[in-house]
Amino acid sequence: MPELPEVETIVRRFRPLLEGRRITGFDTRWKKQLSPSLAAVRAGCVGRRIVRLARRGKFIVFQLDPPGCLLVHLRMSGRFEWGANCECEPGHLRAIWTFEDSERLLFCDPRKFGRVIYAPDLATATGELGVEPLSRAFTVAKLAALLRRHRRRLKPLLLDQRVIAGLGNIYTDEALFRAGLHPLTASDTLRPPQIAALHAAIRAVLREAIRYQGTTFDHAYAGGDMQHRLAVYGRKGQRCPRCGAAIRYARVGQRGTHFCPRCQPIRGRRRRLVRRGQRQTQAGAAR
DNA sequence: TGGTATGTTCCAAA
DNA sequence: TTTTGGAACATACC
């Protein structure tokens, strides 16, 4: 469910509750979510104090003392709750942390896609992750280099967490709309003004979404207001707020993709990539 | 019943 | 080697 802005909002909400607290117990109802093992997670967090709650990409990061690192990924349906009882179905409760003052942190996750990971340090756990899009390291030049390094369609490239960490399906569609770029555009064909526009669009949409505390969808994530400010995501068939054309919906890399056919025209080498994609789809259907 | 879903990872094919 | 599609993970909702 959550992308960078939602995870950032959750981290800010839980930071005052968690920082400084010492973990006295950890229990799970779903061992498969734990990495590398229940024993490792329990040994890694019980008895340690949370010195800092942070975010890296879509991971919630508990920095511990004595030094260690606990990472939680909410994936599609995970959420945190604070207190004795969870608001979710009791059967959806997957993990419980208890603290020295008997307070509890609950991890609810109906679809069981979420993950709880222990690692000795952050670098070990997140070494594969790409650049933080709101960090100083994410410059126009950096984005230009990332786009040139591959010859991929923009949408799957932006969703790849090894390239940029934190973008998901909603904000990728919104950033491409703001930049006026078609999702199928080949990444190595963008010209400098388009790269600058994409860079600005990514940062602007993420900052705005954080300001509005993310996008409320269903039970998975509540409290955000960004859903009222989305231009294309989830608006198939509705009018583009910029030009009035009907918003289109297509599958790109197995993900539902929303775009304005007039504001996001196809240019460059996309034709070749589109044809290649169609051939592969036909081959898959024949199999 | 079937299609879809804010995410990631594996495999096979091109 | 790089890129892509499909399936898988497991559940809820329309």
Mark whether A189 and A89 lie in a shared domain: no
Protein-proximal nucleotides of chain C (any atom < 7 Å from a CB): 2-13
Which is the catalytic residue, given A142, A255, A267, A269?
A255
Q: Is residue A120 part of a domain?
A: yes
Whether A192 has a pLDDT exceeding 60, the answer reads: yes
Alpha-carbon distance of A153 to A215, in angstroms, equals 25
Which is the catalytic residue, given A2, A5, A133, A156?
A2
pLDDT tens, position by position, A44-103: 999 999 999 999 999 999 999 999 999 999 999 999 999 877 788 889 999 999 999 999
DSSP single-letter state for residue A223? S
Q: Is residue A135 part of a domain?
A: no
Q: Is residue A45 part of a domain?
A: yes
Mark whether A259 and A148 lie in a shared domain: yes
Mark whether A22 and A145 lie in a shared domain: no
Q: Is residue A133 part of a domain?
A: no
- Say what the pLDDT of residue A111 is: 93
- Say what the pLDDT of residue A286 is: 37
Alpha-carbon distance of A149 to A71, in angstroms, equals 29
- The DSSP annotation for A48-105 comes to -EEEEEEEETTEEEEEEETTEEEEEE-TTT-EEEESSS-SS-GGGEEEEEEETTS-EE
Residue where a domain stops, chosen among A79, A97, A126: A126
Mark whether A106 and A233 lie in a shared domain: no
Q: Is residue A118 part of a domain?
A: yes
Q: Is residue A44 part of a domain?
A: yes
Instruction: Measure A112 CA to C8 C1' (Å).
Output: 13
pLDDT: which is higher, A200 or A217:
A200
B/e letters for A196-223, b = 16+ CB within 10 Å, e = fewer, are ebbbebbeebbeebbebbbbbeeebbee
Mark whether A121 and A154 lie in a shared domain: no
- Say what the pLDDT of residue A86 is: 76
Task: Respond yes or no: is residue A2 known to be catalytic.
Answer: yes
What CATH number corresponds to the domain at position A268?
1.10.8.50
Alpha-carbon distance of A144 to A149, in angstroms, equals 9
Instruction: Order across the sheet with A93-99: list the strands.
Output: A23-28, A93-99, A104-108, A79-82
What CATH number corresponds to the domain at position A96?
3.20.190.10
The domain of A228 spans 140-286
Whether A271 has a pLDDT exceeding 50, the answer reads: no
Task: Respond yes or no: is residue A255 known to be catalytic.
Answer: yes
Q: Which residue is nearest to nucleotide B5 (CA to C1')?
A: A76
Mark whether A184 and A272 lie in a shared domain: yes
Residue where a domain stops, chosen among A126, A150, A172: A126
Residue where a domain stops, chosen among A103, A126, A149: A126
Q: Is residue A131 part of a domain?
A: no
Nucleotide of closest approach to A92 (CA, C1'): C11
- Say what the pLDDT of residue A1 is: 64
- Say what the pLDDT of residue A90 is: 87
Mark whether A122 and A151 lie in a shared domain: no
Instruction: Measure A19 CA to C2 C1' (Å).
Output: 43
Whether A32 has a pLDDT exceeding 70, the answer reads: yes
Whether A281 has a pLDDT exceeding 60, the answer reads: no
Q: How many domains does chain A have?
A: 2
Cβ of A76 < 7 Å from strand C?
Answer: yes
Mark whether A259 and A203 lie in a shared domain: yes
Please give the structure tokens belonging to residue A173: 């569609």
- Say what the pLDDT of residue A65 is: 97
Q: What is the mean pLDDT of residues A113-139?
A: 95
Cβ of A254 < 7 Å from strand C?
Answer: yes
Q: Is residue A134 part of a domain?
A: no
Cβ of A285 < 7 Å from strand C?
Answer: yes
The percentage of chain A sitting over the pLDDT mark of 70, rounded to a whole number, equals 93
pLDDT tens, position by position, A218-241: 778 888 999 999 999 999 999 999
Mark whether A67 and A160 lie in a shared domain: no
Please give the structure tokens belonging to residue A266: 């196809």
| CB of A224 closer than 8 Å to CB of A215 | yes
For A133, residues 6+ apart whose C-beta sits below 8 A from its C-beta are A4, A164, A165, A166, A167, A202, A203, A206
